[in-house]
Structure 1
Amino acid sequence: RRLASTDRRHLRANPVVRAGRRLRAGGARALAAVAAWPHVVEVAAGMHRSSVPATPSSVVWRSGAAVLRHYAGERAGSGPPVLVVHSLVTRSWVLDLAPGRSLIAALLEAGHDVYLLDWGTPGPGDAGRGFDDYVGTLMLAEQAVRERSGHADLHVVGYCLGGTLALTAHAALGDGGLASLTAIAPSIDTAVDGRLDGILRSLRLPPVLALDGHGLVPAALIRESFHWLRPVALKTARQTWRRRRNPTWRAVAGPVSRWVWEQTPLPGALLFDLVDYARGNTLAAGTWHVHGRPARLEHLQVPVMVAVAAADHIVPPPASLALTGLLSRPPRVVTCPGGHVAMLTGLARRSILCRELLDFLAAARDQRTR
């Protein structure tokens, strides 16, 4: 009997099949580069070599490729710590991009004890890691934060698929030990016409064709996919070339370009799970399961905030705002100007996201002390 296109048994391959996948992955990378030719302009302008300042941190826990970073702020108060959960793809330092443009730094300056779950770079042994495995790592990381901080509760802030992961995990496994949950641009309703979910939902070719010889989606393929998703690639390429010598512009655009350039591979099992998630619209339909338990969003009882970007072409606002109709308690809803990345990388002192998030965390803290 023919296997379903997302059956995990596709990940088991003999040497001949793996060799074929390596050849296919090389061809896919070449085609992706041709299709996303505007990225050549950024490379020619040296944007991918731009330095990226980072807030000092230390690794306090690790599990496989994932690491838990702790940011030691001088103004850390006595409230519950904040665990920031990055997306399941891309590098986490977009959350700490540059001075004045850092979500991490904004939380520190407000007096929060901040941790970041960085998923790291999957290797050949990670091809079989699926959504449930990432949930398991999140649960372990949360417990590590509780033990290190001495607090029984923590605030969780998830970005993109990190927000989706946190919501589904706690909807299925319970929200005990949470002080609040914030989801920034989460993918909830995949029936909405969004580019990311749309690609996963309407994928005609078997997802296994995207895998390399190790069972991973190559980083280069993910990198160039960002250009397929960007509707103004030509305009952006022209702007990049015209402004390449402008130091003020490069200080902002350079780190973003480098972030897009430095992608990480994606485990094949996780790709299969995300395709099933998008095709079935399973979270919105109430049929998604985590560790064998149904992920029912109405079970969440902690304060929830959902933030969207008005011009997000990757996860359009309606795809995230569907959350409001699935919770038993109304969440705080925040709409930010800009797109999927710009909502994070705008000047923190003027950032609607930072201001609203800090206010939400303060309100959640006050609610706990009543």
Structure 2
Amino acid sequence: MTSPWLRRGPRPLLLHLGLAAARAWAALGAIPGPLMLNHPTPARSNGSATGLPSWNPALPRSKAGRQEAARITAALAAGGHAPEAFHAAVLRVLRRQDAALLNGVAGYRRHPQRREMAEPPVVWAEGGSRLLDYGGGDDGPAVLVVPSLVNRADVLDLLPEASCLRYLAAQGARVLLLDWGTPGEAERGFSLTDYVAGRLERALLAAADLTGGRLVLVGYCMGGLLALAVAQRRPKQLAALALWATPWDFWAEEEAAPRALATLLPALEPLLEATGTLPVDAIQTLFAGLDPFAIGEKYRAFARLDPTSPRARRFVALEDWLNDGVPLAAPVARECLAGWYGANTPMRGAWRIAGEAVTPARLALPAFLAIPSRDRIVPPAAALALAPLLPRAQVHRAAAGHVGMVAGSTADAALWTPFLAWRASLPI
């Protein structure tokens, strides 16, 4: 990245700007009475002296919109407030919010923060994947961390003052990270079986050989599902299993929304066929559906920060990580959307790797389940579903969000220290 203005994000930008505009129109649509819309027309219409169409209260609205309009009308009348003044106040708020969003995006794009941390040594590689050695001591079993396939592993090594992996190593744990890399020609044809029974299994064996002992295998988010599956295949190489914000019951909170994701597959097929992957912007669009207006609120808040503050620096580092995503191999995208989300295959015992069902009850290993209480990516109930299925599970409730648990300002207390305490309690 040679210039701050080359920074991308929030991705896809047009989607998030469109969502902000839709939010504003939704607010305007609930306002009763005359309202001058801010879109010029070629000629005067509806008797407007300005050439702008005036709001027609007879235009169709949804039932909810009509109810909200009636509520606002009654409230204005009861308070003796002029509708025109209310209209003007709403427009002022919307304009301030739009300006704050644009200022936040511009401030992010020109922020001087750059990733300048030295990369750990590579001790094993295959295709685009690498095993990185963060060093550390020989205090207990070595730790092998498996991140998600759809984001880079950088979130676990975000900043010198916000690096989960460097913290664990500094506290005496030998730490290794599997960096999946970007799908190349070979990986674009990979299924979940290829990743788990192939790439991950070989990385695990290499890590065990390097460290000379059994490992604590850690999986974060989607990486937890992959770690669970490989643990079933290679229990003799493991001392324990840790799953951080790992979903299992994809329908734990509701069935309709996850199943709706599966119905998008036909529309995504042209992209999958053309590129061999589910591209980053498509993945980001799917995630945006979880909380459509969160990005706008986040960037408005960033616009209020002192850009030189540690908080602003951490925000930019996290956004750089989010916006520098990784495409998902097309076969994996189909398995995840149709299987995990559309059919809830893990919870139903129907998710298979190399023909064998992934069955948590078969794992006799000590297990540490870190469940973020404010997780909007993996609802806590989806991750908690694993607790009764793993015979030796210890549940840790982390007072954080999905990303904040591993990289936030309170990550030390939320996850890092409790994880180390659990690891220290393991029988050697």
TM-score in terms of structure 1 length = 0.82
CA contact (8 A) 1:185 1:307 kept: yes
Amino acid at match of 2:290: L
CA distance in 1, matches of 2:330, 2:176: 28
1:141-168 deviations in whole A, cap 9, x for unaligned? 11101111222x1111110010111112
> Superposed, which structure 2 residues align to 1:182-197 within 5 Å?
182-193=242-253
Cα gap change, 1:41 to 1:286, in 2 (>3 Å): farther
Cα gap change, 1:195 to 1:110, in 2 (>3 Å): farther
CA contact (8 A) 2:145 2:178 kept: yes
Q: In the alignment, does 2:178 pair up with 1:117?
A: yes
Displacement of 1:201 after TM fit? 4.5
Aligned to 2:316: 254
Aligned to 1:126: 187
CA contact (8 A) 1:200 1:274 kept: no
CA contact (8 A) 2:16 2:296 kept: no
Displacement of 1:342 after TM fit? 0.8
> Superposed, which structure 2 residues align to 1:67-106 within 5 Å?
67-73=130-136, 76-106=137-167
Q: In the alignment, does 2:155 pair up with 1:175?
A: no
Amino acid at match of 2:189: G
Amino acid at match of 2:358: A
Displacement of 1:219 after TM fit? 2.0
CA distance in 1, matches of 2:271, 2:310: 38
Q: In the alignment, does 2:383 pair up with 1:312?
A: no
Residue among 384, 387, 411 paired with 1:321:
384
CA distance in 1, matches of 2:188, 2:225: 21
CA contact (8 A) 1:53 1:99 kept: no
Amino acid at match of 2:316: G
Moved more, 341-350 or 296-305: 341-350
1:320-359 deviations in whole A, cap 9, x for unaligned? 00001212x2411111122111111124674221111101
Cα gap change, 1:40 to 1:262, in 2 (>3 Å): farther
Identity %: 31
CA contact (8 A) 2:405 2:411 kept: no
CA contact (8 A) 2:265 2:334 kept: no
Q: How much is the aligned-residue C-alpha RMSD, in angstroms?
A: 2.6
Displacement of 1:251 after TM fit? 1.8
Aligned to 1:13: none
Aligned to 2:332: 270
Moved more, 180-189 or 350-359: 350-359
TM-score in terms of structure 2 length = 0.72
CA contact (8 A) 1:197 1:315 kept: no
Amino acid at match of 2:353: V
Amino acid at match of 2:399: P
> Superposed, which structure 2 residues align to 1:336-351 within 5 Å?
336-347=398-409, 350-351=412-413
Amino acid at match of 1:160: C
The structure number with the bigger radius of gyration is 2
Identify unmatched segments of 5+ residues in structure 1. Answer: 1-28
Displacement of 1:263 after TM fit? 0.9
Aligned to 1:142: 204
CA distance in 2, matches of 1:222, 1:354: 28
Cα gap change, 1:40 to 1:193, in 2 (>3 Å): farther
Displacement of 1:105 after TM fit? 1.4
CA distance in 1, matches of 2:377, 2:352: 24
Cα gap change, 1:195 to 1:296, in 2 (>3 Å): closer
Cα gap change, 1:320 to 1:118, in 2 (>3 Å): same
Aligned to 2:297: 235
Q: Which has the higher contact order (CA 8 A, sep 6+)?
A: 1
Amino acid at match of 1:181: L
Aligned to 2:15: 35
Residue 325 of structure 1: SS of its match in structure 2? Answer: coil
Displacement of 1:287 after TM fit? 1.8
CA contact (8 A) 2:221 2:247 kept: yes
Displacement of 1:63 after TM fit? 1.1
Cα gap change, 1:96 to 1:183, in 2 (>3 Å): same
CA contact (8 A) 2:404 2:410 kept: no
Residue 213 of structure 1: SS of its match in structure 2? Answer: helix
CA contact (8 A) 1:180 1:302 kept: yes
> Superposed, which structure 2 residues align to 1:12-23 within 5 Å?
none
CA distance in 2, matches of 1:110, 1:143: 24
Identify unmatched segments of 5+ residues in structure 2. Answer: 1-8, 21-100
CA distance in 1, matches of 2:118, 2:141: 20
CA distance in 2, matches of 1:130, 1:49: 39
Moved more, 202-211 or 302-311: 202-211
CA distance in 1, matches of 2:411, 2:342: 39
